[in-house]
Amino acid sequence: MDQAIHKLNVGHYTLDVKVSQLMDRLSRMDAKVGELEDNIREVYQHSKDNRKETGRLEGCQKGRRMGYKCYLVYNSYEDYAGAARKCLERGGRMAMPRDRKEQEALADYVKSFFHPGNWPVWLGINDLRSEGMYVFDDGTRVSYFQWRKHFLSSQPDGGRRENCVAMSSDDGDWWDHYCDRTMNYVCEFDDRVAL
């Protein structure tokens, strides 16, 4: 009986050692997994930063430079929120013409891009927060407007239904639209070369 108890004690001790070794290995593996997760997050952040910088460079190389901004038309269909997200992912924001000079230059670029067609493009302007109070996507109030003025269809005419602004490519006039409509869009980027 003593011999059996001794064997059990030795077996128990051996199991304790094995469990202790396994716990030690598990602890080291947890630390390694934590390091790997940190590395993955760091690589992901670098990748995001690189995509933004690549988008900005592409915008200023392929698009049109205007003062301290570059504009690039994307000939792909997105709703307003999707277009805003795509511009941010590329390191820019949807185009926000702040004055007549910027508006005219942007309208000329968009017209030449789609010539001879007429395709609307999203701008970074909406009145989603408060009907009739138009703001840029960065939250600042719009002070210059280029609404379509015509005896049949003066803009904005959508009331609470149409809260996002697009520019017509043939004449540069602005129209209010349903935000979930899909259309082309224009991103703007800071031109660091000009700065």
Question: pLDDT per residue over 16-25, tens digit each?
Answer: 888 888 888 9
CA–CA–CA angle 100, 148, 124 (5° rounding)? 60
Please count the CA atoms within 13 angstroms of the CA of 17 that sit on its side-chain side. Answer: 6
Token representation of residue 38: 């940190």
98 residue type, one letter? R
Tell me the pLDDT of the chain (195 aa) as tens digits: 778 777 777 777 788 888 888 888 988 888 888 888 988 888 888 888 888 888 888 888 899 998 889 999 999 999 999 999 999 999 999 999 999 999 999 999 999 999 988 999 999 999 999 998 999 999 999 999 999 887 677 777 766 788 999 999 999 999 999 999 999 999 999 987 654
Q: Please provide the DSSP assignment of 39-88 as one string.
A: HHHHHHHHHHHHHHHHHHHHHHHHSEEETTEEEEEEEEEE-HHHHHHHHH
Q: Summarize pLDDT for 26-50 with one digit per residue, the tens.
A: 888 888 888 889 888 888 888 888 8
92 residue type, one letter? G
Question: What pLDDT sits at residue 147?
Answer: 92
132: alpha, beta or left? (left if phi > 0; alpha if psi -120 to 50): left
53-194: what fold? Answer: Mannose-Binding Protein A; Chain A (3.10.100)
